[in-house]
Chains A and B, each alone.
Chain A
Amino acid sequence: MSAEQVKKLVAAMPAPEPNERGILSKIDRNATLKAIAELHAGGEEHVRTLVEMLVEPGTGNDHQARYALHGLALYVCGLGGRLRNEEDRKSFSAALAKTLDGDRPAAVKEFVLRELQVCGGGEVVAAIGKCLGEAALVEAAAAALVTIGGDEAATQFRRLQQSANRGQRLIAVQSMGVLRDKQSVSALAKATDDDDGEIRTVACWALANIGDPAGIDACLTAAEKAQGYERIQAGKSRLLFAERLKDSRQADAKRLYEHLRRTSGDESELYLREIAERELAGLG
């Protein structure tokens, strides 16, 4: 199928209705689904053609191409009652990920990453990981990787965490926490002493969320220095950490609660002390 035919199918996608504020109010569901199915039948070549139709926001109207690509991402996962086919999903995602290699505007690549977040799996982690190094793409790439998850995604963030760029480090620290990556504990412990308050706060939370006792000391040390909002968050981190451990490692959980009780001396932190006391009583 030629690029012209792809364009014809894209033109069958819904378009803004000028008489209704430009919303997508008139959509023929069956015709749209049929066009998406035909686009899908064209395989990798169609995916590439569709991506080539995308432009930077404000430089042209590529809405129908975006809608079609999103439709395909949904289609391979079972849109419209279609039976889900894992091979279809993988080959579409892989074809889409290949377009990240080309020389395209960052905004276009960002859209591709957002669609990989919808339908991508382990097969596209490496391709997405390459985008973590680009400032304009790091957020979208991280979102896709965290959504896909798994050890390989965590490896990408451990690499990113060594970056000198503050924004990239923050994203890495948070992502390792969300993925609960135990291999990140020592890097996160170091990050609790970062010069940047946001990185310190997120690192403490990440250690707590992972719940590996090797992170306790760093978390407690950071809590003792924390002020203002960081101090409020240090309370959260200790509680979360203790909750993660209280069934399997009671002594460690007790240590966290005792620390919270001891350091919540200010009258404004009575509520924290009360929680710590309640939990300690529960642990016996």
Chain B
Amino acid sequence: MPRQQKRITRRSFVKTAAAAPALFSIVPRHVLGGAGYVAPSDTFGGALIGCGGQGPGTYRRLSDGLTVKQLAQCDVKFVDRADNKSIYTDFRRVLERKDIDLVAIATPPHWHALISIAAAEAGKDVLCEKPMTRFIAEGRAVVDAFKRYNRVFQIGTFGRFGASRDNNNLATHQIMRSGLLKECPAVVIRRGGFKVKEWSGRPTLPPQPVPSNLDWNMYCGPSPLKPYVRARTGGTHRGYWDYEGGGLADMGQHQLDPVQWTYAKDDTSPVEIEAHAPPADPEVCGMWGWVEMRYADGMILVLDSGEWGEPYNRKTERRLSVADLSEADREKVKAMDKPEPLMTFAEAVKSRQQAGGSAEAAHRAATLLHLANIAIRTGRKIQYDPVKEQVVGDEEANRLVNQTMRAPWHL
């Protein structure tokens, strides 16, 4: 059977299964095909875009629970080995392929949004490394694209899965989800673990010759085409604003994704952000002490790096408990249904439903990192409108919310 036909068969199966969940759940695939049998129609074509250190792990997570045949690997450093059959340097050639269904993205973050969106436009499902984006407007564009094309997106951080199984977190989640708490007295402080020094950039490195195996223009992509410096690639890219946002952007999505789930903030963002940091460098990410963020309901989220300046001491940590509710409201929360278990990527692909760590949730978690970095980079307190996703009354700060891309790349 030609691959194209197989693909349609699988998609039709998936579509039918989604429409009839009862049938899907009571007839396991191994019953239909015998134990261990994998029908050709259940085999997905997979591609990995961005084959550096993180790539193989991201691809493994893409394949977890699915039968995936890897058909393509793509990386801008494959200039000397690309054959445009299974090894590529240009992701667009990969996405043209009709036999690829699933794409794992493990490039540096300045490419995450654009490749995710392009994959959705080409009808593919995506598992993308964290951080989801380099700036806020990219995240909204990813959410819109995956909604428009009805594709599955999952971010490569899974802390929310663990958080959602923890009874204390679950209790907090239920209180917040109930909407019964008009003012949220919680103060969540995340101390350390942001790798601020580790992923600070080095501002005085001289330009070097571009390695012959690297397509430097494509590497820079939507970011400015700067002279090649080795440290701009290979992990240390994290220290440059052009590609990521320091340790905060690198580690923040891991740290804050579970907080977003626990406090039911997957559809909103803080309204006021203040950073304690020295003036930022124009090129490289650097030191910061702490960032305090306040949500509209009063909840405070603090990131305390412990790596620069005085530690955060404005407030002390304060958790939520049922004691914050009236007697009557406690009963209402107790009577609430528990949230549905978060869906894995494999389950989402098969059922065509939202994965845990979906585009919207991932975008809101990434927004925290970006807002923190905007406050650090502008050196002033900012007010944010979580609905319009704009900084209020600060045009220059908004230039970091939606950053210009180099042609031909655009959202």
A residues adjacent to B (C-beta < 8 A): 14, 16, 20-25, 27-29, 32-33, 36, 57-58, 61, 63, 66-67, 70-71, 74, 77-82, 107, 111, 114-115, 117-119, 139-140, 142-143, 146-147, 170-171, 173-175, 177-178, 198-199, 201-202, 205, 228-229, 232-233, 235-236, 239, 267-272, 274-275
Residue among B149, B205, B239, B403 with the most chain A CB within 10 A? B149
B279 within 8 A of A: yes
CA distance A173 to B148 in the complex (A): 25
Give how many B residues have a beta carbon under 8 Å from the other chain's beta carbons: 56
Q: Which residues of A contact B380 (CB under 8 A)?
A: 77-82
> CA A115 – CA B201 in complex, angstroms?
19
Whether B407 pairs with A24 at a CB distance below 8 angstroms is no
Per-position contact with A for B373-385: 1 when CB-CB < 8 Å, else 0? Answer: 0000111110000
List 16 A–B pairs whose Cβ atoms lie within 8 Å, in order of A's numbering: A16-B203, A20-B197, A22-B202, A22-B204, A23-B201, A66-B283, A74-B279, A74-B379, A107-B227, A119-B396, A142-B407, A202-B410, A267-B8, A268-B7, A272-B123, A275-B148
Contact present for B224 and A114 (CB under 8 Å): yes
> What's the minimum C-beta distance from B148 to chain A, rounded to whole angstroms?
6
Within the complex, the shortest CB–CB distance from B240 to chain A, in Å, comes to: 12
Output the nearest chain A residue to B226 by Cβ-Cβ distance: A57
With CB as the reference atom, state the residue of chain B lying closest to A59. Answer: B206
Q: CA A20 – CA B206 in complex, angstroms? A: 17
Q: A232 with B279: in contact, given A79-B378, A177-B410 (CB under 8 Å)? A: no
In the complex, the answer to whether A25 meets B197 with C-beta atoms within 8 Å is yes
Comparing B19-27, B93-101, B255-263, B330-338, the segment that makes contact with chain A is: B93-101
Complex-state Cα separation, A18 to B205, whole angstroms: 12
Query: Is A267 a contact partner of B4 (Cβ separation < 8 A)?
Result: yes
B280 proximal to A (CB < 8 A): yes
A111 to B148, CA, bound (A): 38
In the bound complex, how far is the Cα of B197 from the Cα of A52, in angstroms?
Answer: 31
- B204, A229: Cβ atoms closer than 8 Å: no
Q: Given the known A-B contacts A23-B201, A239-B148, are A70 and B281 also in contact in the complex, defined by CB atoms under 8 Å?
A: yes
Within B1-53, the residues touching A (CB, 8 Å) are 4-5, 7-8, 11
B410 touches A143 (CB 8 A): no
Tell me, in angstroms, the Cα distance from A178 to B148 when the chains sit together.
20
Contact A67 B227, CB 8 Å, known A25-B287, A170-B408: no
Give per-residue flags for B179-213: 1 if the beta carbon is below 8 A from chain A beta carbons, else 0.
00000000000000000010011111111000000
- Of residues 73 through 106 on chain B, the ones whose CB sits less than 8 Å from some CB of chain A are 92-93, 95-96, 98
Quick one: given A58-B206, A118-B399, A142-B407, are A80 and B379 in contact (CB under 8 Å)? yes
Chain B, 103-127, contact with A by CB distance < 8 Å: what is the 0/1 string? 0000000000000001001110000
Give complex CA distance A239, B308 in Å: 48
Least Cβ–Cβ distance between B120 and chain A, in angstroms: 9
User: In the complex, A78 Cα to B239 Cα: how many Å?
Assistant: 25
Beta-carbon nearest neighbor of A21 in chain B: B202
Are B227 and A232 in contact, with the CB atoms below 8 A? Answer: no
- Report how far A114 CA is from B98 CA in the complex, Å: 40
**Residues of chain A with a CB closer than 8 A to B403's CB:** 147
B98 adjacent to A268 (CB under 8 Å): yes
Considering the complex, give the chain B residue whose CB is closest to the CB of A58: B206
Q: B162 interface residue, CB < 8 Å from A?
A: no
Instruction: Decide: B282 and A67 in contact? CB cutoff 8 A.
Output: yes
Contacts of A111 in B (CB 8 A): 282
Query: How far is B407's CA from A175's CA once the two chains are assembled, in angstroms?
Result: 8
- Report the separation of the CA atoms of residues A236 and B411 in the bound assembly, to the nearest whole angstrom: 11
